[in-house]
Amino acid sequence: MKALVVKEFGGPLILEDVPVPKPGPDDALIRVKACAVDQFDLTIRDGKFPTAKTPIILGHEIAGVVESVGVKVDNVQPGDRVTSTLYLTCGKCRYCLTGRETICADFKGYVGIHTPGAYAEYTTIPAANLVKLPETISFPEGSVIANAIGTPYHALTKRAKVQPGEFVIVTGAGGGVGAHAIQIVKMMGAFVMAVDIGEDKLSLARKLGADVVFDASSGDFSTAAREWTNGEGAEAVLELVGTKTFESSLKSLARGGRMVIVGSHTGTVLTASPQAMIANEWEILGSRNVTKRELAEVVALVAAGRVKPIVTGVYPLEEAESLHQRLRKQEIIGRVVLEP
């Protein structure tokens, strides 16, 4: 099969012929129909993810067709259209057993890092990770559901617990996760301020329903946020950027507000005043991807037209390198997808 291989961190994506992987007893062999490209792919190939090893086949946002299954698999069968969660979990610890497998106590790693990913014509995935896709959802759309839609769905519904009528700020709102976060906030009956850089991304945010947009190239957005909220501040901030926007996000929070941190690709150290957190009873929460149950909920929402996957381009494997370079320059709006 054809696959893109990273042979050394910092090196190129190399298109090669490699053997088709064989599924283990608990796995399914997937004929990859689409794989979305993600900022996380750059982190891995640049050698910034500590447990990744080369050679490696990237690709964790997957949609495809089950080709064959291992002897212990009974939840999917050949011919099923599927998407997949990203994490490799034990299924046995207290967190897995209570539906919080994203914080599994015996975490095994990631699809596309600790198993070969989907920048290839075939990949193997634990069948426990798979959720079926209806025919009404295309494969490119299906590939963005787990990460780009599932991630903000988990963050906004389970961590921030956004309520109707609340004010919510989304940083990095024009990217793949942010664009879908806007839709989810509006679906939940709340108001949303979209923060990003550049008119193209802010224009998309407006089209998706953002009530207010702010170009972060002009700096601190907290004054605009307080004006928007009549001086009160936002009840929730979805932080997708990290250190570059963290201070403004904190200053934008209302008393009793919640900040949910999903991404921090602009740095690794966040600073906050304990006195301010105590005085305002702020909550700063982490949020980690999506559970399988939530993924099934998201698939249903997409199928019903409540959330629309934002796919802005579909490309062959041979164009992955140029897509990565565009991603580095923050030129990608929404998600772009590879079709092996």
Residue 155 lies in a domain: no
CA atoms within 13 A on the CB side of 137: 33
- 132 and 116 belong to one structural domain: yes
Are 287 and 170 in contact, with CB atoms under 8 Å apart?
Answer: no
Are 339 and 314 in contact, with CB atoms under 8 Å apart?
Answer: yes
Residue 315 lies in a domain: yes
pLDDT at 186 over 80: yes
Chain centre distance of CA 42: 14
- 273 and 143 belong to one structural domain: no
Residue 20 lies in a domain: yes
Tally of domains within the chain:
2
Report which of 160, 20, 9, 24 is spatially closest to residue 88, judged by C-alpha positions: 24
* Confidence grade of residue 97 (pLDDT, cut at 50, 70, 90): very high
Give residue-wise pLDDT tens across range 279-333: 999 999 999 999 999 999 999 999 999 999 999 999 999 999 999 999 999 889 8
Round the average pLDDT of the chain to a whole number and report it: 96
Average pLDDT over residues 95-112: 96
pLDDT at 154 over 90: yes
Give residue-wise pLDDT tens across range 18-66: 999 999 999 999 999 999 999 999 999 999 999 999 999 999 999 999 9
Residue 166 lies in a domain: yes
Which domain-ending residue is among 258, 286, 314? 286
Q: List the structure tokens of 186.
A: 């509006």
- 230 and 296 belong to one structural domain: no
Residue 172 lies in a domain: yes
- 190 and 275 belong to one structural domain: yes
* Confidence (pLDDT) at 264: 76
- 20 and 120 belong to one structural domain: yes
Write the secondary structure of 61-119 as one string of H (helix), E (strand) and C (coil): EEEEEEEEECCCCCCCCCCCEEEECCEECCCCCHHHHCCCHHHCCCCCEEECCCECCCC
CATH of residue 76's domain is 3.90.180.10
Cα distance between residue 286 and residue 296, in whole Å: 22
Secondary structure (3-state) at 294: helix
In this structure, what DSSP letter does residue 297 have?
H
Residue 223 lies in a domain: yes
Which domain-ending residue is among 263, 286, 309? 286
Chain centre distance of CA 37: 10
- 123 and 227 belong to one structural domain: no
Q: Strand 167-171 vs strand 81-84: parallel, antiparallel, or unpaired?
A: unpaired
* Confidence grade of residue 271 (pLDDT, cut at 50, 70, 90): confident
Given the structure tokens 């904190």, which residue do they identify?
Answer: 250
For the chain, percent of residues with pLDDT exceeding 90: 94
Q: How many CB atoms lie within 10 A of CB 103?
A: 16
- 67 and 29 belong to one structural domain: yes
Q: List the structure tokens of 65.
A: 């067709």
- 132 and 251 belong to one structural domain: no
* Confidence (pLDDT) at 283: 97
Report which of 316, 295, 329 is spatially closest to residue 82, judged by C-alpha positions: 295
Q: Which domain range does residue 312 map to?
A: 2-147+290-338
- 128 and 10 belong to one structural domain: yes
Report which of 12, 127, 114 is spatially closest to residue 60, judged by C-alpha positions: 114
In this structure, what DSSP letter does residue 334 have?
S
Helices (H), the chain: 39-45, 94-97, 139-144, 150-154, 176-187, 199-207, 222-228, 243-252, 274-280, 292-303, 320-328
Average pLDDT over residues 185-197: 98
Given the structure tokens 């928007």, which residue do they identify?
Answer: 228
* Confidence grade of residue 263 (pLDDT, cut at 50, 70, 90): confident
Given the structure tokens 């966040």, which residue do they identify?
Answer: 270
Residue 233 lies in a domain: yes
Residue 21 lies in a domain: yes
Cα distance between residue 185 and residue 183, in whole Å: 6
Which domain-ending residue is among 286, 302, 318? 286
- 228 and 302 belong to one structural domain: no
- 6 and 143 belong to one structural domain: yes
Bridge partners, residue 17, by sequence? 2
Bridge partners, residue 15, by sequence? 4
Bridge partners, residue 63, by sequence? 34, 83
- 197 and 276 belong to one structural domain: yes
* Confidence (pLDDT) at 270: 82
Cα distance between residue 36 and residue 70, in whole Å: 26
Q: Which residues contact 79 (CB under 8 A, 6 or more apart)?
A: 65, 66
